[in-house]
Amino acid sequence: MDTTVIGSSEFIKVLSDTSVERFIPLTAPASLDLYNGYHHFLGDLSATSESIIISVDYRLAPENKLPIAYEDCYASLVWLRQQKPTEPWLQNADLSRVFLLGDSAGGNIAHHVAIRAIRDEECLVRIIGIIPIHPYFGSEKRTQLEMRHGSTDDVKSNDMFWRLSISEGLNQDYEGCNLEQMEVSESEWNWFPNVLVFVAGLDFLKERGEAYAEILNKKGVKEEKL
């Protein structure tokens, strides 16, 4: 969102039950934060980019399996549009220039929220870019890193996380995990926002992020990989 920074060093925390808490950290730039983590990073990002930042306290697995996280985060876009006319701190928010940023599972969620925004004809929030940071995807087919000697424990841990995140009877070829299984039309890809993909050089899931960038490239999405 291309906006001015809120003129006070406070955070607004909006929980998934719609309750709101306002608090002032000891030292932090002006920011909007709606989640109970990354406060100082988001504060720095808000001040540097001169933007309003909203981070969603979405419901977590295993109690709440996918696609609930997608639904909660998409609901935040609806909430943003509904609150803009009446909330003073949103008056300068430009809802025609919105970015989605997510780390790990958040990178996965950002992708799916972007697709939902494209499909919802009543969505009045325009997403022009998404920034997945070592996004968390998977598949039943193993990557080279996953098949490498010494990766057994990492593979077991990763498989456990996916079992906790998806419904019983599904596997890692579920469309929320394996994007190649997700049905997206050519016209939807044409409307997909620009993407800046970050992958960490020593990350066990590095190849998953690289594969995501390759899929975007094949679909004609403008992407940059760092």
Q: Which residue has the higher pLDDT, 5 or 201?
A: 201
**Residues 79-98: what's their mean pLDDT?**
87
Label residue 112 exposed, middle or buried (CB < 10 Å: 0-12, 13-18, 19+). Answer: buried
CB 114 within 8 A of CB 127: yes
* pLDDT tens per residue across span 211-224: 999 999 999 997 66
> What pLDDT does 211 receive?
95
**Is cis: bond before 67, omega within 30 of 0?**
yes
Give the pTM.
Answer: 0.83
Q: What is the rounded CA–CA span in Å between residue 208 and residue 215? A: 11
Radius of gyration of the chain measured on its C-alpha atoms: 18
> What pLDDT does 52 receive?
84
Q: Domain for residue 58, yes or no? A: no
**Residues 175-190: what's their mean pLDDT?**
95
Query: Has 49 been annotated as catalytic?
Result: no
> What pLDDT does 89 receive?
80
Please tell me which residue in 104, 151, 154, 159 is annotated as part of the active site. 104
Q: Which residue has tokens 């607004």?
A: 12
Q: Which residue has tokens 């925004």?
A: 117
Q: What is the rounded CA–CA span in Å between residue 195 and residue 221? A: 7
Total number of domains constituting the chain: 1
Share of the chain above pLDDT 90, in %: 56
Q: Domain for residue 189, yes or no? A: yes
How far is the CA of 103 from the CAs of 9, 17, 24, 85, in angstroms? 24, 23, 25, 30
Q: Domain for residue 80, yes or no? A: no
Q: Domain for residue 60, yes or no? A: no
* pLDDT tens per residue across span 14-51: 555 656 555 444 433 222 333 445 667 777 787 788 88
Query: Has 55 been annotated as catalytic?
Result: no
**Residues 182-187: what's their mean pLDDT?**
94
Q: What is the rounded CA–CA span in Å between residue 82 and residue 141? A: 42
Which of 21-35, 95-109, 185-199 has the weakest average pLDDT? 21-35
Q: Domain for residue 161, yes or no? A: yes
> Domain residues for 193?
94-225
Indicate which CATH number applies to the domain containing 146: 3.40.50.1820
Which of 65-69, 86-90, 155-159 has the weakest average pLDDT? 86-90
Q: Domain for residue 11, yes or no? A: no
CB count, 10 Å around CB of 20?
A: 9
Please tell me which residue in 2, 44, 159, 203 is annotated as part of the active site. 203
> What pLDDT does 173 receive?
97
Q: Domain for residue 66, yes or no? A: no
Q: Domain for residue 38, yes or no? A: no
